[in-house]
Amino acid sequence: MSGSFPDLAELRAGGKRLLSRVLTRLETHAADPVTAAFLDDVANRPLGHVLGLTGPPGVGKSSLTDALISAFRADGLRVGVLAVDPSSALTGGALLGDRTRLKTDPDDDGVFVRSMAARDRLGGLSDEAVAAIALLRAVCDRVIVETVGIGQSEGDLKQAVDSVVLCIQPGSGDSLQFMKAGIMELPDVVAVTKADMEVLARRAASDVKGALSLSRSTAEDWQVPVCEVSAQNQTGIDELVSQLNRHQVFLEDCGRLSERRRAQHAAWFEDMVRAEFGAAGLRVMAAEKTTAWLEHAETAPFRSFAAFSSKLVKRLGVAGD
């Protein structure tokens, strides 16, 4: 595939092979002006809701992703999955290959899974991952982003998805530990996994509810629900899906979904500047009327970065770091 990108109607009607080829081109031609224009187009024409699953290794994110895929497919929805893995220090590629742990039907054209390396991002989302999310949400009804791990550095997940699902496993700590970790600021929905552990799962759910009651919510009129789920026993999955659907309706009804996505686009632009040019790039952006740059980035984050990058490179006479 060379020259122009296929139009969005073709991508939505096409199969996994076409989508895979486009994603590969996004990774290999990220700086191309045609790519930037294409990404801005799809970023402004979202079709699906994006879920971000985060939590410590071993909490069961891949098993939960499997269960959510089955539930969404049962409702006839097209599902895209982006599994963001730790990176190899030698090759920069994905170490774990999360898609190998998902039990999806390779013949089902309604499910698309892509593994992608986190590269050097502590937050877990590289520029390539952000571009993939923009594309997948324009093509699929539901997009699941499964991240590397958990930590305050992973707050950038909030800048890329519509609903953050924090996965907690039984025995993971009490309310004070959750508060000290600062992770209660992240989720829109909490999933206590391995609910088949019964008493321990109920205790974990109680601890999480206690931590949530002490934390300062970013959306005072949204009460973060805590769902006890077991991917092994297939219990609690319907309730989790129901709460995710409820959060989507909440965002749409109060106008926060479009507002959140505009803020995401501006954050993507700023993060690309930081990744390419570091603190020096951010200082230049501030001197160049940051507000104007960010306002333009709300609708055209990728072309804004291409223009900013070109301007800064010409001024400095060097490429970005």
Helix axis angle, 16-28 relative to 127-139, nearest 10°?
A: 150
To the nearest 10°, the Cα dihedral for 39, 257, 55, 216? Answer: 140
**Tens of pLDDT, residues 73-121:** 999 999 999 988 654 444 444 444 444 456 777 788 899 999 887 655 4
pTM: 0.88
Confidence class for position 290, pLDDT limits 50, 70, 90: low
Cα separation, 68 vs 233, whole angstroms? 13
User: In the chain, what is the greatest distance between 2 CA atoms, to the nearest angstrom?
Assistant: 63
List Cβ neighbours of 167 (8 Å cut-off, separation of 6 or more): 53, 54, 55, 59, 60, 61, 64, 190, 191, 193
- Report the alpha-carbon angle 156-283-319, nearest 5: 85
Classify domain 46-255 at the CATH class level.
alpha beta
Q: Which two tokens stand for residue 70?
A: 């089955």
Q: Residue 147: what pLDDT?
A: 83
What is the residue extent of each domain of the chain?
Answer: 46-255, 259-316
Q: Residue 278: what pLDDT?
A: 86
**Tens of pLDDT, residues 119-154:** 554 445 777 889 999 999 999 999 999 986 655 445
Q: Residue 283: what pLDDT?
A: 84
3-state secondary structure 9-76: HHHHHCCHHHHHHHHHHHHHCCCCHHHHHHHHHHHCCCCCEEEEEECCCCCCHHHHHHHHHHHHHHCC
